[in-house]
């Protein structure tokens, strides 16, 4: 019952947030530099031709009316047609979102074990002897460095070394014509590595903080006195306490991955939603920009909600109660 109430409350909050965001997105695209009519009609269009295009695009109607139509369509999965190619925006997003989800999953597949391992070593090290503290400092410095370097620089460096200089990996993630990005898994490596570096710093530091809190706690000391040592101590007593906050952090880290994906996908020409957004903005394809922005907002909010729920479920302090 308590879980149900929590879920309903959070869902309502998410819907309200998404509604506000949809207004912000719509207003933001209205204010974008560049006029969709000019983009479609061209510079030579006469006033009459421009008016015709404006009517065709539905831009002659008041903005509130267009917003309601857009959001009404979105609720039914219809985000309208793209200005440039004429394809349904929903189809374009579905196609590209799959590739981006694949990229994010590959990042998480590495991010979760790596951040847990490094964060645990650092967190336990912070509360132990000199050797442990040294390991903690090394990891802290490394993660701070990762946090300080923007994704375009990280990606650019990886690209310069592994694609251009050594020639080991492809510089751009182009899939075989008619195939998918999975047909050439090598093409995923550099984008994944770039996003991993960007997100690993924050995730590791948050796991470390959780572990460090537990490391000095009386119940862990009690476990030690009871003879629990090594991996058993970590797996049974340290990680469960640290996982809650870490899960939330990892869900928050999705924001980093989504934001970074726009840069990284463009850098490696990865056929994901971030790259598509960049193309849509350049082409003043307003329905596509709106659709992608709304989708990314929804995905991020759902991830945050899931992260919050999992964190509460894993929190030993609450015994799995919300």
Using alpha carbons, select from 56, 73, 70 the residue that is nearest to residue 27.
Answer: 70
Tracing tokens 């020409």 back to the chain, one arrives at 269
When binding is defined by CB under 8 A, the residue of 17, 213, 217, 279 that contacts other proteins is 279
Do the Cβ atoms of 273 and 100 come closer than 8 Å? yes
Stretch that binds other proteins, among 2-10, 22-30, 78-86, 137-145 (CB under 8 A): 78-86
CB-wise, 52 or 308, nearer to other proteins?
52
x/- mask, other proteins, residues 94-123, rule CB under 8 A, reads -xx---------------------------
Distances from the Cα of 47 to the Cαs of 91, 117, 238, in angstroms?
33, 64, 70
Binding test (CB under 8 A) with other proteins, winner from 205, 208, 237, 284 = 284
Q: What gap in Å lies between CA 267 and CA 171, rounded to an integer? A: 9
Determine contact, residues 222/136, Cβ cutoff 8 Å. no
Q: Quote the CA–CA distance of 14 and 129 in Å, as a whole number.
A: 45
Closer Cβ to other proteins, 23 or 32, answer by number: 32
Looking at the Cβ atoms of 70 and 108, the one nearer to other proteins is: 70
CA dihedral 274, 280, 284, 289 (to 10 degrees): -60
59 binds other proteins (CB under 8 A): no
Stretch that binds other proteins, among 44-52, 103-111, 226-234, 306-314 (CB under 8 A): 44-52
Min CB(109)–other proteins separation in Å: 25
Whose structure tokens read 């070593």?
121
Tell me if 23 sits within 8 A of 67, measured CB to CB.
yes
Is residue 151 a contact residue for other proteins (CB under 8 A)? no
| Selected binder of other proteins within 18, 121, 207, 280 (CB under 8 A) | 280
Q: Does residue 149 come out as left (phi exceeding 0), alpha (psi in the -120 to 50 range) or beta?
A: beta
State in angstroms the smallest separation of the CB of 288 from other proteins: 7
**Binding-site ranges for other proteins (CB under 8 A):** 32-35, 38-46, 49, 82, 84-87, 89, 91-92, 95-96, 159, 163-164, 167, 170-172, 174-175, 177-178, 266-269, 271, 275-276, 278-280, 282-285, 288
């Amino acid at each position: 019952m308590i879980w149900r109430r929590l879920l309903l409350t959070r869902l309502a909050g998410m819907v309200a947030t998404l509604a506000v965001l949809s207004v912000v997105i719509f207003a933001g695209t209205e204010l974008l530099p560049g006029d969709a009519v000019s983009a479609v009609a061209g510079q030579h269009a006469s006033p009459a031709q421009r008016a015709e295009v404006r009517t065709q695009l539905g831009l002659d109607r008041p903005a509130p009316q267009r917003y309601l139509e857009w959001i009404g369509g979105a609720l039914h999965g219809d985000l309208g047609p793209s200005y440039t190619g004429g394809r349904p925006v929903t189809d374009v997003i579905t196609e590209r979102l799959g590739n981006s989800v694949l990229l994010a999953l590959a990042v998480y597949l590495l991010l979760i074990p790596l951040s847990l391992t490094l964060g645990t070593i650092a967190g336990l090290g912070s509360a132990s002897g000199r050797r442990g503290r040294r390991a903690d400092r090394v990891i802290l410095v490394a993660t701070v460095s990762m946090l300080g370097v923007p994704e375009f620089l990280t990606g650019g460096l990886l690209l310069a070394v592994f694609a251009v200089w050594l020639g080991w990996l492809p510089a751009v993630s182009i899939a075989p014509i008619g195939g998918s990005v999975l047909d050439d898994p090598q093409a995923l490596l550099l984008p994944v590595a770039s996003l991993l570096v960007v997100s690993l710093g924050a995730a590791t530091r948050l796991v470390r903080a959780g572990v460090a809190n537990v490391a000095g706690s009386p119940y862990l000391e009690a476990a030690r006195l009871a003879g629990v040592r090594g991996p058993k101590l970590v797996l049974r007593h340290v990680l469960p306490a640290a996982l809650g906050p870490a899960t939330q952090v990892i869900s928050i880290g999705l924001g980093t991955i989504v934001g970074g994906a726009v840069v990284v996908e463009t850098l490696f020409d990865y056929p994901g939603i971030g790259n598509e957004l960049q193309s849509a903005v350049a082409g003043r394809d307003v329905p596509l920009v709106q659709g992608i922005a709304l989708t990314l907002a929804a995905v991020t909010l759902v991830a945050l909600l899931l992260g919050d729920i999992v964190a509460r479920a894993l929190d030993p302090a609450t015994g799995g109660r919300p």
